[in-house]
Chains A and B, each alone.
Chain A
Amino acid sequence: MVSPLVLIAAPLAGAFLLGLVRCPRAALAVTLATLGLAAAAAGWWVWQLGWAGAEAVEVFTAGTPPPFAIALRMGLPEAALTLVITLTGLLSALHMQDNLAETGHRAMAVLLVAVMAYCGIVLTRDLFNLFVFFELAAIATAGLILLSADARALGAGFKYLVVSQVISALLLIGIIFTYHATGTLYLDGIAAAAAKPALAFFLVFIAIAAELKPFPANGWALDVYESSHPAFSALISAAAGAASLYAADKLLTVGGPAWLPAATAIGIVTFVAGNLLALPQGNDRRLLGYSSVAQIGLVLAVAGQRDVLGEHYHFVAFGLLASHAVAKAGLFWLSGMVAERGLAAWAALRARPPLIFAFATFVAMLAGLPPFPGFYAKWELVRVLAAEGRLVLLGLILFGALLEAGYLFRWFGFALKREPSGEGLACAPSKGIPVLAAVLAAWGLAWQWGDASAQANLLLGLPLLFALAFVLLDWLPAWVKNTLAIAGLAAWFALTLGQYDPLRLIFAVIMLAGGAVTLLASYHAHGRRIGFYPSAMLMYAGLAQLILAADTFSFFAAWEILTVGSYFLILRGRHSEPHALSYIVFSLGGAFLILAGFAVAADGAASFAVADLATLAAPVAPWVFLMLAIGFMTKTASIGLHVWLPGAHAEAETDVSPMVSGILLKAGLFGLAVLLLAMGRQKLGGIDLTLAMLWIGAASALLGNLMAIFQEDAKRLLAYSSIGQMGYALFGLAMMNHLGWLMALMFVINHYIYKSMLFLAVGGVAKRTGTRDMYRMGGLINLMPLSFISVLVGIIAMSGVPPLSGFGGRWIFYNALLTAESRLPMILIFFSGPIAFLYLFRLIHTIFLGQLKDEHRRVKEAPFWLMVPQMIYVVLLIAFALVPGVALRQVDGHLGGLLPAGGLSWDGLTITSDFGYWNPVAIMVIVGIIFTTLFLWLVFVNRRAQKVKQFNIVFAAERPFRPETTHFAWNFFAPYRKALGFLVQPVATGFWNGISGGLHAGADFTRRLYTGNAQTYAVHLLVFVVAVHLFMTGM
């Protein structure tokens, strides 16, 4: 039995002892040993209380029971928090050991006392004692700030002192009047007191709240974060934040439910404002400071929701707090390794891939992505808030979280993509160990929270584990990993084959088997390709789990996993940094909508079968539908939400583009299919939502295609084309009839095949020619004949010209339209068909036909491994064109059970609908015979044609000047721009840019609040106090 007092006595004794130790190294050893002892004690308690089944204990001092003497309490929360505090202290001490040793025993003593004070804040049950520990923490903070090498730290420390003077004054007044009114300082006694002194307690409460750095009274904290030694910032952020939060929590327990709204309000305002203000930050530590402030605000808001969270309160609050503590401490420690302060300076981390992994872990953890605790916590929190109808709060939380994800991922993008400048990395083991420990803690907590969650433990999911295994296997050469990956996908597909219904089977085939085929292209990469396989397999893991997901939780978890995996994957492209960012922001925005939708639908249930969406009733159902639909449509890049797609797909690596285009987009369609199957038609305010989707689908098809024809960049062209194609599929689904769905599924298959093929082909060409601008290419047909064939087959299939498979899609599409109820949106669709023709022609013409350029005269065919999947696709396309029934017949039958009749009849080789008929084999044979006959005839009459070269053209009696001036390729469809250019004005881009710009400008304006003047900060604090008071009394 270790007394909890060890946590106080040991550091204190250590601190006093340090005065006797002269040698800095010995002093350091004492310090570390003391902290280690404390951490061990805390760990022991966590073990006892958490696993060994011990009860919480109340520790009396002075041999007298409370309220007459100070008492401490050690329960599971306290044990966990003290463990966090002591461990952070230990690791921070390790991290800054050089500074400590240099500064001498005093600094170490201060550090020990700081840790002791934080533990004391957590443990004590006495109000005044709380004050004492806070003061200790404040003074220790003022001392530790000085450890920084930054000369500005002095000023920050003074500001901190000024503000803590004001806080402690308020706290003292509050305490003494609370004592006066209740006759006790024992927290439980105050809680039990009959008459609660509202104003006095308000002062106590507001003082503790001010310790939590609420907006706007937090300028001092930011200055401290920015200028302190990062290890110490880690301590403030993780340990002090946790301790203060627990103090606030204690006060809220004492104060009762009346104080919860205020806590919530303070917390949420701080959360949103902190994240908003972090947006324009350029200094990593200040950014982390804003983020810390925001996170602590979030936990405070959660504390304010304890009344509704009930038994989940600790799970949620600690999930968020643990995520914050581990990730933030880790990030601060990382910041200590980076030499410069700009966000882009973190590019130096690239020298050490494990550090990038650590960075990714922390960012994902902060952003609340699975499988980290924040994810489970978010799920519970949102679920409860939605069930209680606190939708504004829910919205604000998600909005803040989105902002946070925005700047965190932007920063991550900087680290991965910017050029590392100047000084590198301080990579001493003492700096690396804390980071490593934080990473381990992060994954340990992920396991722990998954284990404790009422939902499935995500880390038990085989696909996810498989993906994570690649992190450990990253030292292997790429081809080994590629083989493993393909084998894994194939094995998982074979393993789960029995579990899919025909609808899911189509998606499974595309995502898993198709994924394996796409991965064949990755054999072309040499070396180790660090980071590629974990990301790719993460995405595939998400996809694999998505198709199998039966309940909302696993669905959403899979959704986020695939989102984050694909984000890392997209980010790998050379210039993809901004595009990957907009991808992740839009995806997370969509994911949050899905989350909210599920939560609203759940009405308090922990998780429910996705199919049960069908049982939702009127007032809620349309809103749920709306949120889910928008969420899924973000992924399918429907018009308006499409701005992330072109860049993300175009800038991705050659073999990544087909994955994110051919495969990933289908996740959105899958979601929509599941949604529509479950919920069917919904009406909101008299508007049929499926009709709205129909219009969106049609508009996406038209505008996507229209934008595609104006692209000069081949991959962007394909990317815009995907928007259009997804529009078709969305349109098909939204028709809500049998044939519409069949057409959508046909599009799913076709789009996978030809878009993967085209992306690979174009990627191969771009790889060889060193450019993606089509007008710089031209005439490559003879040099890259295989690529030409795959593009040719691809565009024939895509344009829907018989006899290839695209026609089947069109045919079903027309038949579906005949049964559709609304006719107007189809006009847009009709228009988009021929437009598709335009960009497809442009694609093949400007790349392969026309004039070959000087510098491309010696390019070779695309790499072998890029060609392999393309040739497989060519075969697949032709096979699918001949016998579409192989894939579609089952689905047709399956759909027959889900949607009213109107299916096709598969009579021999002819496919018959209610309206028409279609015989793919006959078409192929007839066209083949005619074509062959005519070809032979031409060969006969024209057997002696002289093969000429590219300048042997009639040129109005002149000769071409140079290939560049002879290749007609740039601004290919100028008349279209004149006629319809107004349709492709970047309205959506402008809109989103406006929002982003507005947020940044607003943040930039608001942060001028923090003038850097200590007095201003004091004023902020007082204004905050007065304002909160007015808010509370006004309520």
Chain B
Amino acid sequence: MTEAIIFYLFSTVAVVSALMMISVRNPVRAAFYLVLSFFASAIIWLLLQAEFLAIVLVLVYVGAVMVLFLFVVMMLDLNIVEKESGFTRYFPIGIMLAAITFFSIYYVLGQKESGMDVFQSQPLSTAASHVEGYSNTKELGKLLYSEYVYAFEIAAMLLLVAIVAAISLTYRRRPKTRHQNPDLQVSARHEDRIRIVKIPVEERK
């Protein structure tokens, strides 16, 4: 019963904030709504006993990715026009299309012969009963570094690509900015800094 309340509460939050996210015009607000949606989802993930991932979602997503989003939004210094509608002209058709997609998903999941019947009667709590001392994190870690080591390496490469790409795309050398050159700084000798010039004394006439 508690589970059901938690589920309905947080799924409502997730869905409503998702809806808000796509309908507000201000990207900063949208980002915050997305964060909210992520939080709610994380709680639902906890409900499904995916503790590690729930934490990762909050840490990585909310902590890093969404901050990056906000950072970019702020950096770009956008001027948001509030008056115009932010939606396309065929907004209703678009909504209808999304609704069709959703209802076909809904229909499939509700079908008896869809292949879902094996799960249908299973309540949440008994679905996966773990022995005492079971650790979701440990279990994932074991798999990750043994069976999925290949995938893990590719994922590492992916992050490297992201770094290289992001830097090479956004980095620009501004010709007029003054920047330090540590190499020169360190190798500077005092002769370079001070030049003692002997000025001949001139007698005042």
A and B: interacting chains: no
Question: Which A residues are closer than 8 A to B by beta carbons?
Answer: none
| Chain B interface residues (CB < 8 Å from chain A) | none
